[in-house]
Amino acid sequence: MKVQQNKPDRRISVAPMMGWTDRHDRYFLRLISPHALLYTVMITTGAIVFGKKLEVLEYSPEEHPIALQLGGSDPRDLAHCTKLAEQYGYDEVNLNCGCPSERVQNGKFGACLMAEPQLVAECIDAMKQEVSIPVTVKTRIGIDDRDSYQFLTDFIGPIAEKGCDTFIIHARKALLNGISPAENRSVPPLKWDVAYRLKQDFPQLTIVLNGGIKSIEDIQKSMEHVDGVMIGREAYQNPYFLADVEREIFGNKNVRSRHEVIEAMMPYIDRSLQNDADLKDITRHILGLYQGLPGARRWRQILSEEAYKPAANANVVREALKHVS
């Protein structure tokens, strides 16, 4: 499935969000935004190396530019999976050093890796030796009480020395005990200024800010200080926000309307259903498309109630479309 790779434009990306940014969602988001860099959900090296679940690497060619996010801490396993990613045509491989969930900690990857910068450096070195595509790191700004700026730079430094030149900074620390992953996305305070300072102190690095980006104004303000922003929940809950991003950031004058997005989605829905996908697994991602517009509630209601029925097909979406303007 190797295809021609595009060089990622890092000004705007959509965050890897577990349970959300699967291949159906990415296809949908790509119809709204031709330019944003899209990330897979985190895929563990164990699922690929030991589980032999290579189907998790599959995606639609239309999703490019697309980055694979890996979770793991064994340099050999990460190198193997990174090589597979290049063979599958991914435009980037990203190492997760920011997820705070207990399950991830038990697997010795995610945010707890911030305590082991030398190990992460070894992982990055092994990954980069296998491929020519970019290898990047997504991280927090600290963990628990180790949240000084010095701790962060002591983490970044050894990894950068191994040739990693792009860091996605979720500008909150991670609390590894006592709160849920969802709370970890809101309880620790946002500190965009820490990411800004990193860019000042490491001007040779590409620094992408993640966390709390909700408006064009947020993007424009942040990009005065960093190289790009990664949008998370706003891109999922209010996906047509990416149309504003296309117009204002990329200067795209030919953005699809909401209705045009759904019409373009229909052939994909038909193909997916023929390949044994369930309609509900696709339509759950498009519920927020008409957020704030007349008929949006009815749109969500029809999709939510009808898509779960055994014989549900694309006609459910066509019916829902009649109720929105």
Task: Give the C-alpha separation, 44 to 57, whole Å.
Answer: 11
What is the number of domains present in the chain? 2
Q: Residues 184-225: pLDDT tens digits?
A: 888 899 999 999 999 999 999 999 999 999 999 999 999 999
Assess if residue 6 is contained within a domain: no
Q: pLDDT value at position 7? A: 67
Query: Containing domain of residue 263, as a range?
Result: 258-321
Task: Give the C-alpha separation, 90 to 6, whole Å.
Answer: 9
Q: Residues 148-181: pLDDT tens digits?
A: 999 999 999 999 999 999 999 999 999 988 788 8
Assess if residue 122 is contained within a domain: yes
User: Is the same domain home to 145 and 262?
Assistant: no
Supply the residues annotated as catalytic.
Answer: 99
CA 157 to chain centre: 24
Asked whether 16 and 42 are in contact (CB, 8 A), the reply is yes
Q: pLDDT value at position 1? A: 36
Q: What CATH number corresponds to the domain at position 131? A: 3.20.20.70
Asked whether 241 and 29 are in contact (CB, 8 A), the reply is no
Task: Give the C-alpha separation, 199 to 195, whole Å.
Answer: 6
Domain limit, last residue, from 248, 283, 302: 248
User: Is the same domain home to 91 and 157?
Assistant: yes
Task: Give the C-alpha separation, 53 to 45, whole Å.
Answer: 10
User: Is the same domain home to 190 and 278?
Assistant: no
What percent of the chain has pLDDT above 90?
88
Asked whether 26 and 66 are in contact (CB, 8 A), the reply is yes
Bridge-based pairing state of the strands 37-44 and 92-97: unpaired
Assess if residue 65 is contained within a domain: yes
